A and B are shown apart, each in its own frame.
Chain A
Amino acid sequence: MSGRRLLLLGGIGLILSGMLFGDIFAVFTLHQNAARVGANLAAAALAAVAGNRDAVLVNFQNVGAFLENRGTKVDTHVHMIDFGYLALMLAILQPWVAFTERSKKRLAWVFLSGAWLLPVGVYLIHYVGLAHSPMKTIGWASIAADFGGLLVLIVTFVCLVGMWKHFHGKVASPADKLLADRSMEGRMLFAGGIALVLLGFFHGAYYAATDLYRHEAQDYSLLAQMSAGAMAGTRVLIDTALADYGQLQGAKAVKIAAHAHSIEFGLLAIMLAFFQPYVMLRASWKRRWAAVLLLGSLLLPVCVLLELRYGLLAGGLADLAGLLIIFALLAMWIGILRYTGELDASTQATAGSGAPQ
């Protein structure tokens, strides 16, 4: 298997795993964690009403611990997906990396090892803590995660050096059949991807113009209302402010998630457009899976936004859209694996045929 296909299969695998992890995290951790943060914030306000400063501090420490737990889970999800994207990008750039195929394959393995080590390490930070650590502030899980990040950084840098060698040498640019492909499914994904990115940008601009500063002002005024209520001993004021604060955090989260997901899925569609010649499925099925991926990528951010108005119904539809993307990615991954299997089984026969490696 070439380094390029290794990065491609590994990259899609990382994105799939990151998305599945995100779904599991959302169902089993996210909402429970948010409820605990809210409960501790309420307890801190009530402790302030009672004039108990020690209890206030203990509750804020708990809030910090819950946020750290949530933060490591989010980081695991985000890094898996982002490293998957980076792997796809490096796979696209492979023909311009002026190293031997054997070296490129080794680099791909090192990259994938680091890309898995970092998120697994980050996930374990909350559970391993500082146990048996030689250092006072950093535990073994953090060390493993940092080492994984270093491997990814080194491979990316070495690939850049390889590209620099290519562009500074007198070597002619290699003919890359992947980039020359103009199949229907490739064009669907490329144009659809750009449309999704544009949609995400327009939504981001709209959010910045209408909501960003209003949300920031509300965040401050609700916390001020909470602490003022605590000082005056007015529980009704605290309860109202707490409920509104929860609503505000939810509104901010869904709007930012819709903006980010639309752009991320758009980028994914654009990158997958380049790899369609590797997907060994019938042309009609390749088009269907491209359409399913684009449909899911559009539905997910829209349904996430609608969660504010339609609650669980829209949330369920967003989960369904996520599943559509996962199925489409899985189908493409299987198609690439089939292509790889066939190519590897007949290496000598295809060596002279010019099939994309």
Chain B
Amino acid sequence: MSGSRRLLIVGGTALAVWGMSYGLWYAVFAEHQGLDSIGASLAGSFVAAAERNSTGREASLEQYREAKYIYDRQVDVHGHWIGLAMLLIVLGIGFDRVDFSERLKLLLAVGLVLGAVVFPLGVLLQTVSHGPLPRAIAIAGSAFVMAALLGSAAGVVAGDSSHGGG
């Protein structure tokens, strides 16, 4: 098995295990707490409105905004890590259809694995910091994935052309 295929399949499997472990941690320690916090703070803001308590209403809404922001990203991270892992494995299985030199294929595989790890990591870091750095990491990760996937698609088209439509 070539190095690029091995990197994609092993990298994808490792990322899938990591994504599932993160999902398990998330389901046990974060999901229900997050949902409870979203529901309680939203209900709290309307209860405060019923009691004509302006400060309580605003505080509850602010709590809702923060809880929802974190919950949405945690769900996204879990889904994207596992989804990207599956893409890496499936692409790895069919990577011999990419008609480029092994060196270029290895470069594409590195870009795919790196992007698949870094993109959700940047999203996860947004739950810790609202600054520009986590966002930049997520953008860089997704750019890596898209560029490498575009390169792989070009390689498949090149392979198809050399097969001559048959």
Report A's interface with B, CB cutoff 8 A. 44-45, 47-48, 50-53, 56-57, 60, 64, 85, 89, 92-93, 160, 173, 179, 182, 184, 187, 190-191, 194-195, 197-198, 201-202, 204-205, 208, 216, 219-220, 223-224, 226-228, 230-231, 263, 267, 270-271, 273-274
Contacts and interface: CB of A to CB of B under 8 A. Distances in A.
Interface residues of B, number: 45
A56 B47 contact: yes
Contacts of A179: 93-94, 96
B57 A223 contact: no
Contacts of B51: 51, 53
B72 to A, nearest CB: 8
Interface of B: 1, 13, 39, 42-43, 45-52, 54, 57-58, 61, 64-65, 68-69, 72, 83, 86-87, 89-91, 93-94, 96-97, 142, 145-146, 149-150, 152-153, 156-157, 160, 163, 165-166
A85 B46 contact: no
Contacts of A204: 142
A53 B47 contact: yes
Given A57-B47, A89-B86, A271-B90, A198 B160 contact: no
B107 to A, nearest CB: 17
A309 B59 CA distance: 36
A263 B54 CA distance: 45
Contacts of A89: 86, 89-90
A345 to B, nearest CB: 30
A353 B70 CA distance: 57
A48 B150 CA distance: 53
A270 B90 contact: yes
Given A51-B52, A60-B39, A231-B54, A191 B46 contact: no
A332 to B, nearest CB: 17
A187 B42 contact: no
A195 B153 contact: yes
A120 B153 CA distance: 38
Given A173-B1, A219-B68, A60 B46 contact: yes
Most A CB within 10 A of own CB, among B39, B65, B91, B94: B94
Contacts of B48: 227
A85 B86 CA distance: 9
In the complex, the 9 A-B pairs of residues with the closest C-beta atoms, listed nearest first = A60-B43, A48-B50, A231-B49, A48-B49, A230-B49, A227-B49, A53-B50, A194-B153, A220-B65
Nearest to B52: A231
Given A182-B97, A227-B48, 20 more contacts: A48-B49, A51-B52, A56-B43, A56-B47, A60-B46, A89-B86, A89-B89, A92-B93, A182-B163, A182-B166, A191-B160, A201-B146, A208-B142, A216-B72, A220-B65, A228-B49, A263-B87, A267-B86, A267-B90, A270-B91
